[in-house]
Amino acid sequence: MKGITEELLAKFRESYECDEKAKVLHSALAKTPMMDLAYDVSEGALLKGPFTIEVKTKGITAQEQSGRCWLFAALNILREKVAERCHLEQFELSQNYLSFYDKLEKANNFLEMVIENPKAPIKGQLMQYVLRGMTDGGYWSEAVDLIEKYGVVPKQVQPETYQSGHTDRFTDTLNRLLRKDALELRRLVSEGKNPYPRKEKMMGEVYRAECIAFGRPVETFDFTYRDKDNQFHEDRHLTPREFYKKYVGISLRDYMAVINEPTFDKPVGRVIAFHAVENMTGHDMKGLNLTQQEMENLCIAQLKAGEAIWFACDAGAAGARKDGVWDPKTVRYEDLLGGFSTAMEKGKRLEYSASSANHAMLLTGVHLDEDGKPDRWKIENSWGKDVGDNGYFVCSEAYFREFVYEAVILKKHFTKEQQEMLEKEPVYINAWDEDY
């Protein structure tokens, strides 16, 4: 079959007209969201209930209409340290503060990649990748670089604005500006001129636009709070970096991203690295590629030690947002559309762009079966309290194995062999080939 003929269409029509089940499904789908119909209440109920191991956290955050999940999850790890140190029931760090610098660094790296590759074909893979521009999205490595450079501040010091929670229009406009700047910079370099005086002015435009949309980042502030015992505390004239060192007080270099991506270009037991538009200039994304079982063992070890885990997954797969469940048996979109299968091996799914790590959250618990094996995982999401179980979600072990691609683990939980893997030279891949 090369083309669609009238005979073939007639065959398809006849097959559909004889399929009473398909007609019933059409009637249901005509008036009901797919997510509501795809959810199997009985299967979902089997995933609810307490967890064998559970880490208590300080509440649900809401990223609103933005793609800052990775930053929310990273700051929620740090939030727990501040709350514990200061004896607080509730606490939140400013996502807007670091989001400002994230976009500034992404814009700078975008322009640097343009300058550093003046002869790269404009329709080649590299430049087409760069010209995608920036997004809200990011990775753990990126969060670490931002926090170490700029520190953190309490949310009340730099609160959200409407634009920080609804970023589509701003980001689209900024990318239009950057692409215009890319054209000018490539021309300057091709003419043998110094591009950096012009780049500085370009970055000044980006900074000004961000200040208008998100507010100018604070440089010093007073930290005031009442603890659980209603005792008042005040610490004056702190810089964001001083606050980070004093009230968070941990080294993020003690953590390492672990990935499970069984693709042909990522050997198991090696650190996989690449330089992305999302990075700061001079920094790379890195993750230690391990087997699925190794990643799960490390996650359980960290939860047993009382610490939540930053992780990344495919939130578009087998998910019911309202009910707070990710599970292939419970959420069955394929059955609604005729009962076909989308099953693929995990690695092949990544290679064929059928899945990706598109959402980051916190693992806060796991339930172990009678053999001590995980069968469901508790998740702290950043979609607010109106979905799931007051903002908390659950995923099955089947989902975890197929659609969880990255988890950030304290290196102290690594085996000796895994720690030795970190000493080997990283395997570098192209940024456009990354999957996590």
pLDDT tens for residues 124-149? 999 999 999 999 999 999 999 999 99
In the structure encoding, which two tokens stand for residue 87, read together? 């004896």
What pLDDT, on a 0 to 100 scale, did the predictor assign at position 434?
Answer: 75
Q: What is the DSSP letter of 300?
A: H
In the structure encoding, which two tokens stand for residue 180, read together? 């215009």
What pLDDT, on a 0 to 100 scale, did the predictor assign at position 1?
Answer: 67
Beta strand 232-238 with 221-226 is antiparallel
| Mean pLDDT of the 27-42 span | 92
CA dist 204 → 92, 110, 153, 169, 179 (Å): 30, 14, 24, 20, 16
pLDDT tens for residues 292-305? 999 999 999 999 99
What pLDDT, on a 0 to 100 scale, did the predictor assign at position 433?
Answer: 83
pLDDT over 70 (residue 323)? yes
Active site residues: 69, 359, 381
Q: Determine contact, residues 196/202, Cβ cutoff 8 Å.
A: no
What is the rounded CA–CA span in Å between residue 83 and residue 92?
9
| Mean pLDDT of the 257-275 span | 97
Structural domains of the chain ordered from first start: 33-62+251-436 (3.90.70.10), 90-249 (3.90.70.10)
Percent of the chain with pLDDT over 70: 99
pLDDT tens for residues 325-347? 999 999 999 999 999 999 999 99
Q: At what angle do helices 168-190 and 196-214 cross, to 10 degrees?
A: 170
In the structure encoding, which two tokens stand for residue 31, read together? 């008036």
In the structure encoding, which two tokens stand for residue 166, read together? 């609804």
What pLDDT, on a 0 to 100 scale, did the predictor assign at position 435?
Answer: 63
Q: What is the DSSP string of 135-165?
A: -S---HHHHHHHHHHH---BTTTS---HHHH
Nearest to 360 by CA among 100, 22, 72: 72
Burial (0-12, 13-18, 19+ Cβ within 10 Å), 27: exposed
- Residue 108 binned pLDDT confidence (cut-offs 50, 70, 90): very high
Cβ atoms < 10 Å from Cβ of 403? 25
Q: At what angle do helices 140-150 and 95-116 cross, to 10 degrees?
A: 110
| Mean pLDDT of the 150-160 span | 97
Percent of the chain with pLDDT over 90: 97
pLDDT tens for residues 388-436? 999 999 999 999 999 999 999 999 999 999 999 999 999 999 998 876 5
Q: What is the DSSP letter of 341?
A: -
